[in-house]
Amino acid sequence: MANNKGNSLIFYMFELNTSCRAVYILIEELNIEATIQKIDMRKGEHLTDDFKQISPLGQLPVMIDNGLKLSESSAILCYLVEQYGNEEQQNKLMGINDIKIRAKIQMALYFNVSRFYKPVADWLRPQIFRGSRPTEGECLKLKEALRQLNSLIKSYSKYVAGSDEPTVADIALFSSVSFLQVLNYNLLQYNSLWNWLKRLKKSSLELPIGKSLISLQEWQEELNAKSNENDC
Amino acid sequence: MANNKGNSLIFYMFELNTSCRAVYILIEELNIEATIQKIDMRKGEHLTDDFKQISPLGQLPVMIDNGLKLSESSAILCYLVEQYGNEEQQNKLMGINDIKIRAKIQMALYFNVSRFYKPVADWLRPQIFRGSRPTEGECLKLKEALRQLNSLIKSYSKYVAGSDEPTVADIALFSSVSFLQVLNYNLLQYNSLWNWLKRLKKSSLELPIGKSLISLQEWQEELNAKSNENDC
């Protein structure tokens, strides 16, 4: 049974947006009954008057839950765990019983927003919206962001906030990395990152993460991206 | 008496960095006994081997507290409230008793990191590091960021997360805005933002905020910035 039977979470997402996909993975993991409203940014659906009533800047993702309207995917991730997770899930995904782990989860989420997410999005955008290749500058910024994520993971033993189980920070960062993997980006050179990705796929998040990868692969086939190795 | 007598918080900051200043305001508000290590980025002190032992990317701010090393200013803000705030402060500054307020505080903190902080920093950087004016593009991006912050404040009644008292999100955003004000940027045109700034100066955060403004004014005088109105 869904965790919020009777409640009314509405989640607005663009399927090819990394931040939206992170929230979607969590919704599946927490088994939240949600109305998913797909907004296709390629068709400009985020710019319609109807959608601007919900998100004045045309920003995605956005959720509305019992009168609370929230944007910023990391804030949504934290809210959903607090609102719908049981104590075990809250502890595992957000470290509610350990102030140091909790602080490191926040640090990794802010690292994603301030340093990692944008280089990935800038690299993806031309491929998603125009079917064209990213520029050399975009490639270099992505490489630097990957080097930084690799260092962050290397400094801990298992997951990005130093915990034994994956947290919301792993979900947020995985969501970005999964696009690179599906587009055959050469991630093997980032050894700690690569091993983290392998661990994550066999972790307690195996199911929602596997499902997320499958739906991305379908998009990749649609896109008919070239299938040989891609490290730019 | 300081809140953490006997503990050993070390806080590394560059005085002219908005994120560092936000944490410093909170340290004063919570009356935390901290060792403040000033790192002058204009002199390249963040690039020395010694500092790279602490912050491999030369990133500021960084704090070390009883073995916990933390970067990302918003993560530091939340950690310090949780670790050193009493229940009243935790409730006021982070909404621990109200899940909706707490979610909106996180949303506003992420808005600062993803949309507001960088346009302000890009506008400030040439003035701080080279004594030169920002470009037209930097001016336009700052105006757009200010319009967005103005809308965010307008959508609520008093503070940026919709609460009756200022929170860590107000501290983070104030810290950026205070540089604009001290450099005589014309903020009057952003009506809601202007009124928020006036409210904040008479709020429960009056003292640390006032002190922060005075120390910035001293810098502004040193810089000998032109004192007439500045809206670019």
DSSP state of A134: P
For residues A200 and A210, give the distance between their C-alpha atoms in angstroms, rounded to a whole number: 10
Q: Is A198 exposed, middle or buried (0-12, 13-18, 19+ CB in 10 A)?
A: exposed
For residues A197 and A153, give the distance between their C-alpha atoms in angstroms, rounded to a whole number: 10
Give me the DSSP letters along chain B: --TTTT--EEEEE-TT-HHHHHHHHHHHHTT--EEEEE--GGGTGGGSHHHHHH-TT--S-EEEETTEEEESHHHHHHHHHHHH--HHHHHHHH-TT-HHHHHHHHHHHHHIIIIIHHHHHHHHHIIIIIS-PPPHHHHHHHHHHHHHHHHHHHTSSSSTTS-SS--HHHHHHHHHHHHHHHTTB--TTSHHHHHHHHHHHTSTTHHHHHHHHHHHHHHHHHHT---S-B--
**Which pLDDT belongs to residue A198?**
95
For residues A162 and B46, give the distance between their C-alpha atoms in angstroms, rounded to a whole number: 25
**Dihedral (CA of B190, B195, B200, B202) sign:** positive
Residue of chain B whose Cα is closest to the Cα of A145: B57
Question: Is it the case that residue A192 has pLDDT exceeding 50?
Answer: yes
DSSP state of A115: I
**Which pLDDT belongs to residue B186?**
93
Question: Is it the case that residue B34 has pLDDT exceeding 60?
Answer: yes
Are B99 and A107 in contact (CB < 8 Å)?
no
The answer to whether B53 contacts chain A (CB < 8 Å) is no
Q: In the structure encoding, which two tokens stand for residue A120, read together?
A: 């990935």
Which member of A72, A83, A103 has the closest CB to residue B75?
A: A103
Question: Is it the case that residue B3 has pLDDT exceeding 70?
Answer: no
Contacts of A113 (CB under 8 A, 6+ apart): A74, B110, B113, B114
CATH superfamily of the A9-91 domain: Glutaredoxin (3.40.30.10)
Q: In the structure encoding, which two tokens stand for residue B35, read together?
A: 């060792």
Q: In the structure encoding, which two tokens stand for residue B13, read together?
A: 């900051």
Q: In the structure encoding, which two tokens stand for residue A198, read together?
A: 């392998």
Question: Is it the case that residue A163 has pLDDT exceeding 60?
Answer: yes
Are B113 and A110 in contact (CB < 8 Å)?
yes
Are B78 and A106 in contact (CB < 8 Å)?
yes
Q: Which residues of A touch B103 (CB under 8 A)?
A: 68, 70, 75, 78-79, 82
**Which pLDDT belongs to residue A5?**
59
Position B227 confidence tier, pLDDT thresholds 50, 70, 90: very low
**Dihedral (CA of B198, B200, B204, B210) sign:** negative
Asked if the interface predicted TM-score (ipTM) of this complex is over 0.85, the answer is yes
The answer to whether B1 contacts chain A (CB < 8 Å) is no
Residues of chain A with CATH 1.20.1050.10: 98-223
User: What is the overall mean pLDDT for chain B?
Assistant: 92
Predicted confidence (pLDDT) per residue in A9-50, tens digit? 999 999 999 999 999 999 999 999 999 999 999 999 999 999
For residues A166 and A198, give the distance between their C-alpha atoms in angstroms, rounded to a whole number: 12
Fold of A98-223: Glutathione S-transferase Yfyf (Class Pi); Chain A, domain 2 (1.20.1050)
Q: What percent of chain B has pLDDT over 90?
A: 80
The answer to whether A147 contacts chain B (CB < 8 Å) is no
CA atoms within 13 A on the CB side of A95: 25
**Which pLDDT belongs to residue A56?**
85
Predicted confidence (pLDDT) per residue in B127-146, tens digit? 888 888 999 999 999 999 99
Question: Is it the case that residue B78 has pLDDT exceeding 50?
Answer: yes
Residues of chain A with CATH 3.40.30.10: 9-91
For residues A74 and A229, give the distance between their C-alpha atoms in angstroms, rounded to a whole number: 31
Question: Is it the case that residue B7 has pLDDT exceeding 80?
Answer: no
The answer to whether A19 contacts chain B (CB < 8 Å) is no
Q: What is the mean pLDDT of residues A162-175?
A: 96
**Dihedral (CA of A119, A125, A128, A132) sign:** negative
Q: Where are the alpha helices (DSSP H) in A30-98?
A: 49-54, 73-84, 87-94
Are A72 and B114 in contact (CB < 8 Å)?
yes
Q: In the structure encoding, which two tokens stand for residue A63, read together?
A: 């959720």
Question: Is it the case that residue A6 has pLDDT exceeding 60?
Answer: no
Q: What is the mean pLDDT of residues B79-97?
A: 97
Interface test mutation site (partner A, options B81, B94, B98, B107, max chain A beta carbons within 10 A)? B107
Sheet holding A34-38, edge to edge: A34-38, A9-13, A62-65, A68-71
Question: Would you state the torsion angle of the CA atoms of residues A29, A34, A35, A39, taken in this order, to the nearest 10 degrees?
Answer: -40
For residues A213 and A37, give the distance between their C-alpha atoms in angstroms, rounded to a whole number: 20
For residues B222 and B216, give the distance between their C-alpha atoms in angstroms, rounded to a whole number: 10
**Of the given ranges (A54-68, B70-84, B213-227), which has the lowest mean pLDDT?**
B213-227
Q: What is the mean pLDDT of residues B188-207?
A: 96
Query: Looking at the DSSP assignment, which residues form a beta bridge with residue A117?
Result: none
Q: In the structure encoding, which two tokens stand for residue B33, read together?
A: 């006994």
Q: Are A113 and A74 within 8 A, CB to CB?
A: yes
Neighbours of B97 (CB within 10 A): 11
**Of the given ranges (A122-131, A139-148, A189-198, B200-209), which has the lowest mean pLDDT?**
A122-131
Position B173 confidence tier, pLDDT thresholds 50, 70, 90: very high
Neighbours of A156 (CB within 10 A): 15
Nearest to A173 by CA among A230, A125, A104, A224: A104
Residue of chain A whose Cα is closest to the Cα of B83: A99
Q: What is the mean pLDDT of residues B9-14?
A: 96
Q: Closest Cα of chain B to A102: distance in Å?
A: 8
Position A227 confidence tier, pLDDT thresholds 50, 70, 90: very low
Q: Are B65 and B7 within 8 A, CB to CB?
A: yes
Q: How many residues does chain B have?
A: 232
The answer to whether B75 contacts chain A (CB < 8 Å) is yes
Question: Is it the case that residue A174 has pLDDT exceeding 80?
Answer: yes
